Amino acid sequence: MNLTLYVWRQQSSELQGRMEKYYAQGISPDMSFLEMLDMVNEDLIKNNAEPIAFDHDCREGICGTCSQVINGVPHGPEERTTVCQLHMRHFHDGDTVYIEPWRAKAFPVIKDLIVDRSALDSIIQAGGFISVHTGGVSDANSFLIPRSDAETAMDAAECIGCGACIAACPNGSAMLFTAAKVTHLAMLPQGRPEAKRRVCMMTEEMLTKGFGNCTNHYECQAACPKGIKVSFIAKLNREFIKAAQLIKEE
């Protein structure tokens, strides 16, 4: 399989970027998308050209670092699939493929296809944790949790923080990411003591870092490789309203 690639090249966030044309030749349909880029980089290195910079780590759909917009879609055309899980059999011989980094104000380009996603870390640091006493582990039956609540919490915990929801959103909103993290802890008794502080601090940090507001385009849910639902955003809003009411009463 032979492909024509148009890849975004940019040396840093301070410099302008551009699309450059490359050829991927002799590609096996059994390769992953990242393995195809590895082959392209090997050819560039052989020709004393600078390889394409892109992020990757686990290559198992777990870490979410392989963030790329492929033909206008975060993580590519397949639903619930990260770039490292996307295989070349989903493309055809002679296809033209456009590859870009995440596009969001809060995600400045570091180089080529790599963006700085530390703004998501800042949201977590603002309140995505619980305070616990050190010591022995509590018995599993000490906290009785309804099965529906436990399953909802686990569904929210599936978020891998890749940022596809933000790249897909016309507003560059981080509401789905923040909602998943807030819901994960809000559904469990261990997370309730800090619920008021958590939702206020995380939403405030989200706005401070330059993320946009949610206007219900639903692109975030469509692009999420783990299928995180927009219903969690409603949960985030309810938690925020409850926190605001408690603060008012105090």
Measured CA to CA, the distance from residue 188 to residue 129 in angstroms comes to 12
Q: Tell me, what CATH number does 32's domain have?
A: 3.10.20.30
pTM of the model: 0.92
For the chain, what is the mean pLDDT? 94
How far is residue 32 from each of residues 44, 45, 129, measured CA to CA in Å? 19, 20, 35
- pLDDT < 50 regions, the chain: none
The range of the structural domain enclosing residue 225 comes to: 117-249
Say what the pLDDT of residue 140 is: 67
Same domain flag for 107 and 122: no
Same domain? 146 vs 223? yes
In this prediction, residue 131 carries a pLDDT of 82
Question: Where a domain ends, among 111, 140, 171?
Answer: 111
| Amino acid of residue 85 | Q
**Residue 137 sits in the same domain as residue 90:** no
Domain CATH number, residue 197: 1.10.1060.10
Domain finish residue from 61, 76, 111: 111
pLDDT in tens, 24-65: 999 999 999 999 999 999 999 999 999 999 999 999 999 999
Q: Please give the C-alpha separations between residue 140 and each of 144, 158, 185, 211, in angstroms, as whole numbers.
A: 8, 22, 17, 38
Q: Are residues 103 and 10 in the same domain?
A: yes
If asked whether residues 203 and 230 sit together in one domain, one would say yes
Q: Which of 92, 111, 130 is the last residue of a domain?
A: 111
| Number of structural domains found in the chain | 2
If asked whether residues 156 and 220 sit together in one domain, one would say: yes
Do 193 and 240 reside in the same domain of the chain?
A: yes
What pLDDT does residue 190 have? 86
For residues 244 and 130, membership in a common domain is answered with yes
